[in-house]
Structure 1
Amino acid sequence: MCDRGELREVSAAVLAVTAHLSVREVLQTILTSARRLLGARYAALGVPDSGGGFAEFLADGVTDEQWRAIGPLPRQHGVLGEMLKSPHAVRMADIRQHPRFGWWPRAHPVLTDFIGMPIVDGDEILGELFLANKIEPGGFTADDEELLRLLAAHAAIALVNARLYERSRELSIVEERNRIARELHDAVTQKLFSLRLTADAAATLVERDPDAAAAQLETVRRLAADAAGELRSIVDELRPVDLSGDGLDVALRKQAELLDRVHAASVRFTGCPVPRLTAAREEAVYRTAQEALHNALRHGDPSSVTVELRTGGGMVALLVEDDGKGFDTAAPALAARRLGLASMRERAAAIGGTLKITSAPGAGTSVRLEVPTGG
């Protein structure tokens, strides 16, 4: 049975699932609570990817220095691989006696008593939660197993919610694309068709009836202006929805979390709430971050990308850094990248900001944008 302290721990972990936290923060809260509640020295939580590794792997009970010394993330083999195939818990006095136990890196702590619980949604195994080295003698108990099963169930809720959120965003993007396509067809394509016909008519009249040709060309000018106006109005409606309600920091955090889930590279956001900027400046910062992330993930082949948003000295600063292959900023860039870099510079200039792009082959890329908060 749980005492009051344990119940508070369980309550905190459960409430984290419905709080406005990132999925990673929710899973970390559940993991930390599990280690404390079950009295374990070490705990970990893994969410597999489709390539034989882990899309998410969190550990609790080891320092950052120890974690770095252990080395790369584990793969889906041995006991970890077995837990991803079976919905049943694993509870042992010594994990090294498991028939699928293989080895661990030299810097890895020695694990003995062990309890592992698959994170299950229906018939699908979403991940695994496991703890090792019970602090009190006697190993993990049946009560520990039941409590861990409860926490794993809430981890499953967090992961399912994340999937639903991602799918809803994808559907919103598809719906927005369809809306733009309809508006382009209805408002612009027809004008462009009329413009082409009028231009053809003007071409046939140039020599035999210059006045009529001039009138047709005036119609061409008017239709072109109308089409340009329609395009501007459509583009103006593409202001990121998240900015209007959430603010810049929340919108960038959501963007980073979405990209982190759909790309192999780790994409992380750090920052704090910043003062509200003008609509033009907020959109410029957001679009610059999007472009920098796109360039890093498409061209840089990084293992990690960080997005940082800070404020101070009357400025808001955006920093997007990656550890990818970088490029020579003095050399001609790929057409797509060159266009993106030009777009970022134009956005910065238009809002009175300053943009600095630093990169070198093999040294990653850094994009820093500073915009004033006032004026």
Structure 2
Amino acid sequence: MDDREMLDELSAAVLAVNRHLSTREVLQTIVTAARGLLECEYAALGVPDDQGGFAEFVVDGISDEQWAAIGPLPRQHGLLGAMLHSAQPERLPDVQADPRFGWWPRAHPVLKDFLGMPITDGEEILGAIYLANRRDGDGFTPDHERLLGVLAAHAAIALTNARLYEHSRELTLLEERHRVARELHDAIAQKLFSLRLTTEAAAAWVRRDPARAEEELAEIRRLAGQATDELTQIVAELRPRELADTGLAETLRRRVALLDRVHDAEVTFSESGRPRLTPRVEEVVLRVAEEALHNALRHAGAARVRVALTATDTGVVCEIADDGIGFDHTTPTGANARLGFASMRERARRAQGSLDVRSAPGSGTTVTLAVPGE
């Protein structure tokens, strides 16, 4: 690749990296761009956590089967950890000859020449890019190091922007939740207060003036009817507009995409068939899925969460599975109560459906909701 071609490739890589707002998409794009730009067999990018491991570790050049066989994410040790504590690049002709090299799992590909580049934002090290095995067999040069340094600088900007975007989305969601809470309070609290005062007045008039008491009871009925109507209207407005506009599958897909962007865990969605449900049942499926996703992402410590929506001959099955810490689902209290499974089962019952929860300590959790179709 001559200088002009390399410049074109670098320009295309920088544009690709800065095109994404999802942190995961940014990381994967950086890795893919670096591997292609420097023409090597393997590329990886690690973002450290604060517990000696990696919050994110994405790779390119390794198949899903190889990745699964390699096993758990690496720890911050050896050369992987060196660049997370010292913002210096590492360029080696043989990674195994370096005294900091430790070991790798049996299924790990054999690496020889190595180039590592920290991704920094000022003094903060956001992560590091690791490349290995140049295809031409000549190893990495100082020019390659400089080229990767340019890509890492743009990666730092894109990664920072992606994180800021995701935090802003989280704040937007929190603000929306608070707005809804205020609307519920403002609309209903005044009616309930009036109902209480009118009820007390009716009780006071029952013996002294039954006719006046009947008037107060009529007012109670009127206020109760208004409160019911207003609450029904608010609940109707709270029904996600996407359900009416795009349907259940697309609404779930968008919810999952958002959660995948704002959480470290990988959250995926798949759909099979064309679900046909009433609006009321669609909302039940969405609310149960949201509750199960919340549990997986907030309580289970899951690294991967999968949502699958499947149309069957009799209705729809929605499955939410995670690889988190799990719990003893046979216990009637404790985790079951804390994670809201009773309310999920009640939603399923109201939709003439069923909810199945399978979990065990250390084995993740799978929530399966089955509801009838139209």
Give the TM-score category using the shorter length.
Answer: 0.7 to 0.9
Are residue 340 (structure 1) and residue 343 (structure 2) matched?
yes
Provide the residue aligned with 1:260 in structure 2: 263
CA apart distance, 1:114? 1.4
Q: Deviations over 1:243-274 (max 9, x none)?
A: 5677325313324404632xxxx342132598
CA change 1:190–1:86 in 2 (3 A) is same
The alpha carbon displacement at 1:310 in A equals 4.7
Aligned position for 2:8: 7
**In the superposition, relative to structure 1, how do residues 207 and 291 fare at CA in structure 2: closer, same or farther (>3 Å)?**
same
Query: Are the counterparts in 2 of residues 307 and 321 from structure 1 also a CA contact under 8 Å?
Result: yes
Q: Is the 8 A contact 1:348 1:369 kept in 2?
A: no
Which secondary structure does the structure 2 equivalent of 1:206 belong to? helix
Residue identity (%)? 48
Give, in whole Å, the separation in 2 of the partners of 1:221 and 1:56: 58
Q: CA deviation at 1:45?
A: 0.7
Give SS of 2:179's match: helix
How many pairs are equivalent? 364
Alignment partners' CA distance in 1, 2:261 and 2:273:
21
Instruction: Map 1:6-25 to 2 at 5 A.
Output: 7=8, 11=12, 14-15=15-16, 17-18=18-19, 22-25=22-25
Is the deviation greater in 6-15 or in 210-219? 6-15
Mapped pair 1:250 → 2:253: yes
1:359 has 2:362 as partner: no
Amino acid aligned to 2:211? D
User: Using the alignment, how far apart are the partners of 1:297 and 1:24 within structure 2?
Assistant: 16
Q: Give the C-alpha shift of residue 358 in structure 1.
A: 4.3
Q: Is contact 1:248-1:282 (8 Å) kept?
A: no
Distance 1:182 1:321, change over 3 A: closer
Which residue does 1:269 correspond to in 2?
A: 268
Q: Distance in 2 between matches of 1:306 and 1:341?
A: 18
Counterpart AA for 2:345: A
SS in 2 for 1:111: coil
Measured after TM superposition, the shift of residue 128 of structure 1 is: 1.1
CA–CA distance in structure 2, aligned partners of residues 250 and 236 of structure 1: 22
TM-score by length of 2: 0.81
Matches of residues 176-325 of structure 1 in structure 2 within 5 Å? 176-240=176-240, 247-258=250-261, 260-261=263-264, 266-271=265-270, 280=280, 282-297=282-297, 300=300, 302-310=302-310, 317-323=317-323, 324-325=325-326
* C-alpha deviation, 1:226, in angstroms: 1.9
Letter of the aligned partner of 2:119 in structure 1?
I
- Structure 1 residue ranges without an equivalent (≥5): none
Cα shift at 1:279:
5.1
Are 2:40 and 2:135, in contact at CA under 8 Å, matched by a contact in 1? yes
Residues 104, 270 of structure 1: CA spacing in aligned structure 2 closer, same or farther, 3 A cutoff? farther
Change (3 A) 1:140 1:183: same
Deviation, structure 1 residue 49: 2.0
C-alpha distance 243-13 of structure 1, shift in aligned 2 (>3 A): farther
Contact between 2:359 and 2:366, CA under 8 Å: does it hold in 1? no
Q: Quote the residue 1:140 is aligned against.
A: 140
For 1:35-54, what aligned pairs fall within 5 Å after superposition?
Answer: 35-54=35-54
User: Unaligned 5+ residue runs, structure 2?
Assistant: none
